[in-house]
A and B are shown apart, each in its own frame.
Chain A
C-alpha cells in the first residue's frame, strides 16, 4: 500500500468560536488517527529525524510503538530524553527540526511527529502519570536557577542521575516562559502543571519566591550546593526608542503576556490584575511572541488587531502555523511598515501611531533583504494599545551580582558547548547563554549541561 502523502489532519476549534475563548486551539489526534499517522513512518534505519531533535528523542522507535498500539511504551521512550513532552508536542518548531529532516518530506508532508508526541503525552496524562523510579542517591546537591524549559530539563535529568536538585524560581509559580509567555490557547496551564508535577515526582524540589541575585546570590548557593545551573532566560524587554513609548497603552510583550497568562487578567475582576486593551491594538514584530500577543488581544475583545512588521511575510520569524492561525482569527497584517512615533491625548493615553511604508533592498548581514523607508510614505493609524514584541534581552540580575562570571558583549553568560561558565561549578544554558531562542533549544542546552554537571560532580566533588 503506498504511503499517504498528507498528514492526518488535526481537529481545531473554529476560528470564529475560538477568538471568544482562551481554550486550546488544536484539539489533538484520536487513537485511530495517531495509529494511521504512525503507519506513515518509513522507519528509516539512519533515523534522520532524530538528528533534528535538540534533546535526541529516538523518534522512529516511539512511532513504531504507537503503530503497534503500545502507547505506554511510546511515552516511556520519549520521556527517556524529554521530561516535557506535552509541552514540546505543542510548541516545538518541528518543521525546522525533526519533521524538516523526515524522508517523507521529499515526496509530500513529513510524518506529524509533533502531533504524535502530543497524543501520547496527553493520553498518559488522562490515565494518570506513573510515578517514576527514583535513582539511587549520589549524595550530591545541585541548585538550578530558573524553572523555564532549560532549568526544568536540567533538573529532571540530574534527578534521574540520582542527584538532589533544588530549583529556585523568582515568580510565585514555576514554568518560566512556558507559564508567563505562552498563552493558554497554545499551551493550557493545566498541562504545564502536570508536567511539573512529574518533575517533582522525580524528586526535584521547587522553591518559589526566591530571586537569585537578590534573595540569595550565586555565592550563597555555592555554600550549600556542589554545583549550580543558571537558566534564567532572556526576559528583559527591548524597546524601539521612538517617541511616545512611555504613553499609557504601550506595553512590552512581556508585560502584556504576563498580565494575561501568569496573572490571569482575562478573568478580571475575579482575578485582581487588570489589563486595558481598547478597540484597536497594534503588535509590533512578527515572531511567535508577536502572534501570541495579537491573538490574545482578539480574545480580550479588541475589534482590530494588527501585526506591524518592517519586513515582509517571508522574513517573519514566526512559525508558519502561528501566522496562519493568527490570519484565520482575523489578525490584520501590515507588513513593510515601520512605526516611528506614538501620539497620546492630554491624559497621556495612546491614541495614534505614525508609520512609514518600507521596501526591501539588498540582503543584509542576516541574509534577509534590508527594509528601507519609502520617502513621503508617512501615515497615521488610530490605535488604543501597542504591544512591543521585537525581542528580549538576557536578564542582568545574576551577571551583575556574580563577580567572576564572564559575560559577553550581548549580556549573555559565556559558556562552552557543555554549558561550563568561567566559574568552577557554575553552569548555564538556554536563552541566558545564547540570547533569545526556542523552548526546545533551551531544553537541549539544559540536557547537555546536566551531563556536564554529572561529569563535574564525579570528578571534582
Chain B
C-alpha cells in the first residue's frame, strides 16, 4: 500500500498528490511513469511522474479527473492509501546539453514536462518554455516552470491569461523570428503534439513527444499501448513513452485512445451513482 502524503488542488479537477513509494523514488527519472490501481476492482492506469523526492521517498503525480479512476483518485485524501503503485516505467528522457531547447506543455501535460525542463536547465541548456491551457483556471505549474526557464510564454484558448491562441502559435513565432532552436520537447493532448510536430518538421528541428496510450501491465506484455513509429509497431510502455514526433503516427494513436470510450462512459456514470 502506498500512502498519499500530500494533496493539493491545482485547478478545478486537477490535483497534485505526493505518494510515498521509496523504491520508485529511488530510481525515478524525468520522462518516466508509474502505473497505479486503487482497489481490488480497480483498473491499472499510467500516470507520468511529475516530480520525485529520493530523500523523502515520494513520487508526485498530477492528474485531471477525466475518467472513473481519476475521479475516484481525486476523492482520496491525505493519509489514504493506494493499493498498487509500480514504477518507474518506460525510458527516461534523454537529457544533455543541446544548446537551446523549447519545452512545450499543454493542459495537464505541463506536469510531466516540469521535471524534464528542470533537468534540461540543470544540464545548462537555454530553456524556453511555452505552457498553455483552455483558460487561466486550468493553467498549472506556472511558478515552477518560470523558475526553470530562461523565457516563459503562456497561451490560453480564450485569452484569459497570456496570449490568446495555442502553444504552437508561439513556437511558430519563435521559428519565424529565426531563433536558434536545437530541440523541442512537447507534452500535452495528442492533437497539440501533432500540430507541434507539423510546425517543426519543415525546419528539421528534432522534436520529442511523450505518448500516453491505454496500458495495462506497463512491462511490454500486452501490447495494448502499441503505437506506429516510422511504420513500425512500438510499445509506449517499454520503447517509450518518448518518441521522435516526426515519426509518430498520431492519427492511429488518437483512434486507439478511443477504443473503450463507450465503456468508459458507463464507468463514469456508475461511479456517479455510487457517489450520490
Q: A residues bordering B, Cβ < 8 Å? A: 170-172, 180, 208-211, 214-216, 235-237, 239, 245-248, 251-252, 254-255, 258-259, 262-264, 268-276, 347-348, 395-397
Q: B203 an interface residue at 8 Å Cβ cutoff?
A: no
Interface of B is mostly: mixed
* Distance A193 CA – B266 CA, assembled complex (angstroms): 31
Does A172 contact B84, Cβ atoms closer than 8 Å? yes
B residues in contact with A271, CB < 8 Å: 41, 43
Which of A172, A254, A276 is B260 in contact with, Cβ under 8 Å? A276
User: For residues 58 through 115 of chain B, which have their beta carbon under 8 Å from a beta carbon of chain A?
Assistant: 68-69, 83-89
Instruction: Write 14 A-B pairs (CB below 8 A) sorted by A numbering.
Output: A170-B86, A180-B217, A214-B88, A215-B24, A216-B27, A247-B255, A248-B256, A248-B258, A252-B222, A263-B216, A268-B263, A268-B266, A269-B267, A397-B238
- B267 contact set on A, CB distance < 8 A: 268-269, 272, 274
A68 to B221, CA, bound (A): 46
Other-chain residue from B85, B226, B255, B260 in contact with A274 (beta carbon distance below 8 A) = B260
In this complex, the member of B43, B222, B260, B264 whose beta carbon has the largest number of chain A beta carbons within 10 angstroms is: B222
The residues of B that contact A254 with a CB separation of less than 8 Å are 221-223
The distance from the CB of A5 to the nearest CB of chain B, in whole angstroms, is 45
Interface size on B, residues (CB 8 A): 42
CB-contacts of B30-52 with A (<8 A) = 37, 41-44
Contact A269/B255 with A210-B86, A214-B27, A235-B221 known, Cβ cut-off 8 Å: no
The interface residues of chain A lying within 8 Å CB-to-CB of B224 are: 251-252, 255
Q: Which of A171, A216, A236 has the most CB of B within 10 A?
A: A171
> B23 to A210, Cβ gap below 8 A?
yes
Q: Please judge, given known A-B contacts A246-B226, A263-B43, A272-B267, whether A395 and B259 are in contact too, CB under 8 Å.
A: no
With known contacts A172-B84, A246-B233, A395–B219 Cβ distance under 8 A: yes
Q: Is A211 a contact partner of B86 (Cβ separation < 8 A)? A: yes
Per-residue CB proximity of B233-267 to A under 8 Å, as 1/0? Answer: 10000100000000000001001101110111011
Q: For B263, what are the chain A residues with a Cβ–Cβ distance below 8 Å?
A: 268-269, 274-276
State the Cβ distance, A165 to closest chain B Cβ, in Å: 19
Q: Which residues of B contact A275 (CB under 8 A)?
A: 260, 263
Find chain A residues with CB under 8 A from B89 CB.
211, 214
- Is there an interface contact between B216 and A255, defined as CB atoms closer than 8 Å? yes
A209 to B84: give the CA distance in the assembly, Å.
7
CA distance A397 to B89 in the complex (A): 11
Given contacts A180-B217, A214-B27, A248-B259, 20 further A-B contacts (CB under 8 A): A172-B44, A172-B84, A180-B221, A211-B218, A211-B219, A214-B88, A215-B86, A239-B223, A246-B226, A246-B233, A248-B258, A252-B222, A263-B216, A269-B263, A271-B43, A272-B43, A274-B263, A274-B267, A348-B256, A395-B219
In the complex, the number of residue pairs spanning A and B with C-beta atoms less than 8 Å apart equals 121
Interface status of B270 (Cβ within 8 A of chain A): yes
Which residues of chain A are near B256, meaning CB under 8 Å?
246, 248, 348
Q: Is the CB of A208 within 8 A of B84?
A: yes
Determine how close the nearest CB of chain A comes to the CB of B3; give it in whole angstroms. 14
Q: Which of A170, A215, A276 has the largest count of B CB atoms less than 10 A from its CB?
A: A215
Known contacts A214-B27, A255-B216, A269-B266; A348/B221 CB under 8 A: no
CA distance in complex: A65, B213 (Å) = 55
A273/B43 in contact, CB under 8 A: yes
- Closest residue of A by beta carbon distance from B84: A172
Asked whether A258 lies within 8 Å of B217 as measured between CB atoms, the reply is yes
Please tell me if the beta carbons of B255 and A348 are within 8 angstroms of each other in the complex. Answer: yes
Give A423 to B47 CA distance when docked, in angstroms. Answer: 35
Give B248 Cβ to nearest chain A Cβ, in Å.
12
B189 close to chain A: CB less than 8 A:
no
Give the complex CA separation of A237 and B224 in angstroms.
10
List of B residues within 8 angstroms of A245 by Cβ: 233
CB distance from B238 to the nearest CB of A (A): 7
A251 contacts across to B, CB distance below 8 A: 224
- Does B228 sit at the interface, judged by CB under 8 A? yes
Rounded to whole angstroms, the CA-CA distance of A259 and B87 in the bound complex is: 20
